[in-house]
Amino acid sequence: MPASDSPRVFLSGFADEAANQKTAVQQFAAFAALGLQYYSIRFIDVGSGVKNAMQLTVSEIQKIRHLENEYGLNVSSLGSPIGKVKLVDVEDGTKNNYIPFKKYLEHDVKKACELAHAFETKLIRGFSFYPPKNADPREHLPQAVQQLGEIAETCHRADLTFGLEVEANLVGCTGHLLAEIYRQVNHPGMELIFDAANILVQGYSTAEVFAQYEAMKPGLGWMHIKDYRYPQAAEGTDKTKHVEEDKLSHFVPADQGDAAHERILRDFARIIPSIEKRLHRRGIPGVFLDLEPHVKGGGQYGGFSGPDGLGVALRSLCRVLDYAGIEYHLRDFEDIRAARGF
């Protein structure tokens, strides 16, 4: 473990990745056993089948909150699908939905804000909208910027922060495009979320991943941790092609892929204190690293690692953090004593 004066992060993860049937008890038992105290909520089953957090009822939320207390967990972020809809209403051969933006803002975005408050988190994860398949995303920047600015304002007025994740096939499919969105939106209610694997799967090299991370640095609020290892060299891959996300199958732990998390996190360590100051002003406890490893498979709306895969991914991340000189905390006996009132 790094020395106490090292930069510090909070470890979290998408708990549904650790649960074979995605039940709340499976998710929370796995995270508690691994020593995690935070989780991002996305898909969960509290007795009436697996559903996205956006579809939870009031009684289901209450059940989850009781279980959180039982297992000593807090929500780091709402893993919402906000922004994973079409930007324009055209048929492009995808199954992506189109929802008129005014309706989307009034219903889905406000619902996400209500859920974030219900789970006592300040953070909502989201995306930058789908342009038509195989279109140049740069041509759709103005509309995406306008809509994302309104989403950021809605979150800001609810005393929440909207995190915009880099991901394939979206307007913000690269770190450079996401950085430009951030620059143009220019709103305190928006942060950026780096995810190295989401860049790698588009055919970018290790060096290009680092360059995109650097482009995002001015707006970085937190990170998702997953990695990807190419079965062959990345160079020469057509980066303009639509990525078939449900066919991706080479996700690996953070110290085994092509992202070079060791280099990224050593650089990230230098800017953690400045990010912390910005987040603290918004009532956010610190900088989160959110495990989303997909080591047993991933797709457009989520992934799976199992309890064993999540454990492997966590230990991998801890090794990289130790190397990078970044402090973190996992539950120990003193935490158990404190929970029991000793």
Crossing angle of helices 58-71/110-118, nearest 10°? Answer: 40
Query: What values do phi and psi take at 163, rounded to 5?
Result: -100, 125
pTM over 0.85: yes
pLDDT digit string (tens) for 197-232? 999 999 999 999 999 999 999 999 999 999 999 875
Non-local (6+) Cβ contacts of 330 within 8 A are 11, 34, 35, 36, 318
For residue 235, the model assigns a pLDDT of 47
Q: Residue 207: what residue type?
A: A
Crossing angle of helices 261-280/206-216, nearest 10°? Answer: 10
For residue 312, the model assigns a pLDDT of 98
Instruction: Delineate the domains of the chain, giving CATH numbers in brackets.
Output: 10-314+322-339 (3.20.20.150)
- From CA 202, how far away is CA 208, in angstroms rounded? 11
Contact assessment for residue 49 and residue 77, using Cβ atoms and an 8 Å cutoff: no
- From CA 251, how far away is CA 242, in angstroms rounded? 18
- From CA 286, how far away is CA 121, in angstroms rounded? 12
Contact assessment for residue 174 and residue 166, using Cβ atoms and an 8 Å cutoff: yes
Q: Residue 23: what residue type?
A: T
Partnered with residue 10 across adjacent β-strands are 288
Quick one: how many helices (H) and strands (E) in the chain?
Answer: 11, 12
Question: Shortest CA distance to 123 belongs to which of 194, 217, 193?
Answer: 193
For residue 231, the model assigns a pLDDT of 76
Partnered with residue 125 across adjacent β-strands are 163
Contact assessment for residue 162 and residue 113, using Cβ atoms and an 8 Å cutoff: no
- Per the model's pLDDT, the better-predicted residue between 236 and 244 turns out to be 244
- From CA 207, how far away is CA 218, in angstroms rounded? 19
The answer, yes or no, to whether residue 234 has pLDDT greater than 60, is no
pLDDT digit string (tens) for 56-92? 999 999 999 999 999 999 999 999 999 999 999 999 9
- From CA 227, how far away is CA 295, in angstroms rounded? 9
The answer, yes or no, to whether residue 26 has pLDDT greater than 80, is yes
Structure tokens at 239: 């980066």
Q: Round the average pLDDT of the chain to a whole number and report it.
A: 95
For residue 232, the model assigns a pLDDT of 56
Residue 294 CB-density burial (10 A; 0-12 exposed, 13-18 middle, 19+ buried) = buried
